[in-house]
Amino acid sequence: MQLLWQILVNGVLLGGLYALMALGLALVWGVLRIVNLAHGAFIMLGAYVCYYLFAGLGLDPFAALPVAMLVMFTFGYLVQRGVLNLVVRAPMFDTLLITFGIDVLLTYFAQLAFTADFRAINPSYAGDNFELLGATVPLVRVAAFGVALLLTFGLWLLLMRTRVGRAIRAAAQNLVAARLYGVEPRNLYAVTFGLGTALAGAAGSLYGVVSQVSPYIGSSLTGKSFAIAIIGGLDNPLYVIVGGMVLGIVEALTALYIGPTYTDVASFGILVLVLIVRPKGLLGRTA
């Protein structure tokens, strides 16, 4: 019972981070109709940006996180403006292939630039933890969970309450009508994709704090993000949190009862199962 409680706490804390990972993917998928296979690679890049700010400049990872987000926003904006805007109206199949090409490019780039060594962002307080009803709770995981929830709520506010958010939602619903009302898609799409990669950058920074980073983590993280986006649907960021928690808890239970090497079986299995049973998504609507 004690063990199960500990596992649930771990699962929920991990789930918050997972939700943040999937958030950018769901935003880009829902608005731009781009199924971004490079999403995991963007998370990986964000983790490296945070790592070098931490290891090179000695910045605290939670202070480095906004910087990493800004860097990744700029990068994502340029990728959409320079490349993806050229194919955004092509059949879904083309965007799948081109984002896979970007994924390959980024992975090999990371391997050349950062080497294949595993890196971890471990500030002085990395080992601190506290007790919660008998469960040990690592401080950084709680902080990562808090930041993830904050950013998710921030995105929800941005989409619901700001001009840019309204324009993004309008473009997602009906691009032609949105254009008639003065929405300029080239810039708006780039901003949306930039927001998606900024969220990936934030998720990567937090991932680097609670786990280890290598150039090859991308494809597994893309898979997890897809599973969460399929569970949560694409129309509400708050549902994505639920999707993230579901995956976090399922993975934690799998690690406990079947074995820690089976977590990928669980996450990819959920992805396939949910698609087969309810292709429109479990909670919300998908594209």
Partner 1 sequence: MTLPVRAVIVAIVVALLAAVPSIAPAIIVQFGISALIMVTLAQSWNIIGGYTGYTAFGNSVFYGLGGYGTAVAMVQFHLPFAAGLALGAALAVVFALLLGLPVLRLRGQYFAIATLGLVGVMTAIVSNLDIAGSNSGLVLPLLKGDTLFYELALALALLTTLTVAWIARSRFGFGLIAIRENEEAAEVMGIDTTLHKVLAFMLSAVFSALAGGIHAYWITYIDPAGAFDVTLNVKMIIMVVFGGPGTVLGPVVGAVLLSAISEILAVNVTSFAGMFFGLVVVIAIVFMPRGLTDVMRRFREVGWRCFQENVRTYRV
Site residues (vs partner 1, CB under 8 A): 35, 37, 83, 85-90, 92-94, 96-98, 100-109, 111-112, 185-186, 189, 219-220, 223, 226-227, 230, 259, 261-262, 264-265, 267-269, 271-272, 275-276, 279, 287
> For residues 150 and 265, which CB has a smaller minimum distance to partner 1 in the complex?
265
Query: What's the residue count for the chain?
Result: 287
Smallest gap from Cβ 246 to partner 1, in A, equals 16
Q: How far is the CB of 220 from partner 1 (least distance, A)?
A: 8
Compute the least distance from the CB of residue 7 to partner 1, in Å.
20
Buried b (16+ CB within 10 A) or exposed e, 43-60: bbbbbbbbbbbbeeeebe
Rounded Cα distance between 184 and 88, Å, is 14
Classify each residue of 12-36 as buried b or exposed e, where b means 16 or more C-beta atoms within 10 Å of its C-beta.
Answer: bbbbbbbbbbbbbbbbbbbbbebbb
Nearer to partner 1 among residue 89 and residue 173 (C-beta): 89
Smaller CB separation from partner 1, 101 or 127: 101
Minimum distance from residue 123 beta carbon to partner 1 (Å): 31
CA distance 94 to 15: 31
Give the residue ranges of DSSP H helices in the chain: 2-32, 39-57, 61-82, 92-114, 139-161, 163-173, 175-180, 185-210, 218-232, 237-257, 263-277
CB of 209 closer than 8 Å to CB of 84? no
Give the orientation angle of helix 39-57 with respect to helix 61-82, to 10 degrees: 140
Nearer to partner 1, 1 or 277 (CB): 277
Please, what is the minimum distance in Å from the beta carbon of residue 112 to partner 1?
Answer: 7
Q: How far is the CB of 166 from partner 1 (least distance, A)?
A: 19
User: What does the alpha-carbon distance between residue 244 and residue 227 come to, in Å, rounded to a whole number?
Assistant: 9
* DSSP code of residue 128: -
Record the tokens describing residue 263, joined without a space.
Answer: 């977590």
The residue among 97 and 160 lying less far from partner 1, judged by its C-beta, is 97
Q: Is the Cβ of residue 88 or residue 252 nearer to partner 1 in the bound state?
A: 88
DSSP 238-274: HHHHHHHHHHHHHHHHHHHHT-GGGHHHHHHHHHHHH
Which of 260, 250, 267 lies closest to 11 in space, CA to CA?
A: 250
Closest to partner 1 by CB, 71 or 287:
287
* Shortest Å distance, C-beta 185 to partner 1: 5
In the complex, what is the shortest distance from the CB of residue 255 to partner 1, in angstroms, rounded to a whole number? 13
Q: Of the two residues 29 and 145, which places its CB atom closer to partner 1 in the complex?
A: 29
